[in-house]
Structure 1
Amino acid sequence: MSFNTLARFDGRVSIECPTPVLPLVSAMSGVEAITARSRPVAEDTFDCYVPLLSLPHVLDFRAADLPATCPYVLATPSGDSSFSARWGNGLKIGLIWSGSAFDRTRNADLAHFLPLLDLNAKLVSLQKEVAQDEEQQLSDHGIENAGSAFRHFGDTRDAILALDAVVTVDTAVAHLAGALAKPTWLLLNEPAAVRWMMHRADSPWYPTMRIRRKHEGEHWREMVIDVTREIAREM
């Protein structure tokens, strides 16, 4: 969600967004956030209206045009202080193993992410929906279940800012971590969504993101083992 191009037009730019996203959009420059309602906003309120995902077409935007200017999601004045104080010093890694139920091929299991325990790090679950058996696994392995208490994406943002890196499957949090310029390892099943393009280990949207694509016959756990080794070498 970077609206600087639109903001250059002589006028007011507003975005209607779901309530959980409102804290993020409200903190962005050049745009006014409007809470999404059950009824559409009156047409006479604006001169023009465009769905968010149609903007690249309307603006004739290409991948080469991407400024890759991150972070473009801003912190609040309170920042990440509460999470930083709670988690202390040392390496801190956030993880998400499951996202949308509409495309389960993107999702792994919590057990697949346990190789991250080999790091001398504080592991934090950013997962909003956690099953009962997963709660027990998190507790058994000393992984903090932070995400279950998040009220909105503003809380998710503040938690990510207090971390050193994020390891995630294809979820909204992957985009948020990238937009915050946080080192992010994105684990993709193939075929992946078109937004991640093909055969790339990076993303033009997010300069601090690395993409690890699942090879034929490979298991999620093997991917996480590789990522764990990378983090150990670099952090």
Structure 2
Amino acid sequence: MLHHLVFLRAKMCEWPVYAPPPGVDSELMRRSNPENADAHIWLGRQYLKKGDFDKGASEIGWMWHQRAPELVDQKGLFIDEAGRPIRQDGRTVVLSADSGLGDTLQFVRYARALKELGARVVVECQSEFVRLIRNTAEIDEVVAVGQLSDGEDLRVPLHNLMSAFRSTTPDSIPNAVPYVRPHDEETDSWRQRVAPLPGLRVGLCWSGNLRHQRNRSRSIPVGQMSSLFELPGVSWISLQKDSDVAVPALLDWSAEFVDLAATAALVQNLDLVITVDSAVAHLAGALGRPVWLLNRLDSCWRWMEGRTDSPWYPTLTQFRQRRAGDWSDVLPEVAASLTTLTGERKKSAARPRRRSRAAVPAVA
């Protein structure tokens, strides 16, 4: 059994070449060389983007082809072909992080379904998540990657859970939110700090992980967002970790984000999160908070094609690029939507509250 899956992580969204070269047909590549893992993974992403999760999940399992062949096919581990759950009573099942921070948040939702099958659920995740995920009732144990002890009956990389639960279409995804929760004490502390802020309290994240090979295409130079900061009725809070750019229009408490549990406690108290494709988008979605995703044209498979919503996160709305690298259409749309939202909030606040009618004393 593998005990340090992190060292074998394929990082599906950071595969050496994310997509096939122009003019290359992934299906043809796979047919001509059935052992070509790149072709399977590229093809899997295409299926997933189009909503065919059955084929897509099977193909992306090839990320383990040369690293851990026994993990390539875990289809139907927990749901049989007839759609019936397969009980896991008395078994310890380890769900292991196999990619980035956002991926971990996206797929840890399956822990609840696994717990309902009777399993003892252990999550092996990045250290940034340990406190947050440990606060989830359906999870029995949480360990940082590399700290797992012996004793599991089954190891499942997080990406394999789509196939293991036969999530074959977007409609079959377990998407009840929230499925993570911040700690009450931290949440209460942030509530007191943000309470005096006027208007709509909006968190902003404009860049993902700087080490991600596609971070430039998914991020927005914060200077391009200056028109948003001029909108009335909004208090802006930075959710950008480790930024070297000072933005006077934003309240910046990011030095206090010691881990994602700390960030979650602040996000829980915001009216809206606006973010590029990053772990912050997944965090807000997993918490069930309203989140607007500013998405690049050639987006990751999880956001699918032609959608302004997300089957993974019911509180998420997408604002998509029309041209690669060009945010000039997206930001005015965001500004218009924010203006509408602040206007609605203002009208709601101006409406007189209905008072309950006092009881009329009986006449003697």
Instruction: Say whether the fold is shared (TM-score over 0.5).
Output: yes
1:178-189 to structure 2, matched below 5 A, reads 178-189=285-296
Q: Which letter maps to 1:30? A: E
Which protein shows a greater Rg? Answer: 2
Residue 180 of structure 2 is aligned to residue 48 of structure 1: no
Residue 253 of structure 2 is aligned to residue 160 of structure 1: no
**What is the aligned partner in structure 2 of residue 113 from structure 1?**
225
8 A contact 1:92–1:165 mirrored in 2 = yes
Residue 166 of structure 2 is aligned to residue 60 of structure 1: yes
Q: Which letter maps to 1:110? A: V
**What is the aligned partner in structure 1 of residue 240 from structure 2?**
127
Q: 1:37 to 1:183 in 2, by over 3 A?
A: closer
The structure, 1 or 2, with the larger RCO (C-alpha pairs under 8 Å, 6+ apart) is 1
SS, match of residue 138 in structure 2: coil
Distance apart, 1:117 and its partner CA: 1.2
Q: 1:172 to 1:33 in 2, by over 3 A?
A: farther
Distance apart, 1:94 and its partner CA: 0.4
Q: How many residues align?
A: 227
Distance 2:187 2:328 in 1: 30
- Which of 72, 78, 96 matches 2:205? 96
- Which of 161, 180, 201 matches 2:308? 201
- Which of 139, 142, 151 matches 2:258? 151
Q: Which letter maps to 1:22? A: V
Residue 318 of structure 2 is aligned to residue 211 of structure 1: yes
TM (normalized to structure 1)? 0.90
**What is the aligned partner in structure 2 of residue 69 from structure 1?**
176
**What is the aligned partner in structure 1 of residue 140 from structure 2?**
32
Distance 2:122 2:147 in 1: 16
CA RMSD, aligned part only?
1.7
8 A contact 1:126–1:148 mirrored in 2 = no
For structure 1, the residue ranges without an aligned partner over 5 or more in a row are: none
For structure 2, the residue ranges without an aligned partner over 5 or more in a row are: 1-107, 343-364
Q: Which letter maps to 1:111? A: G
- Which of 92, 95, 115 matches 1:7? 115
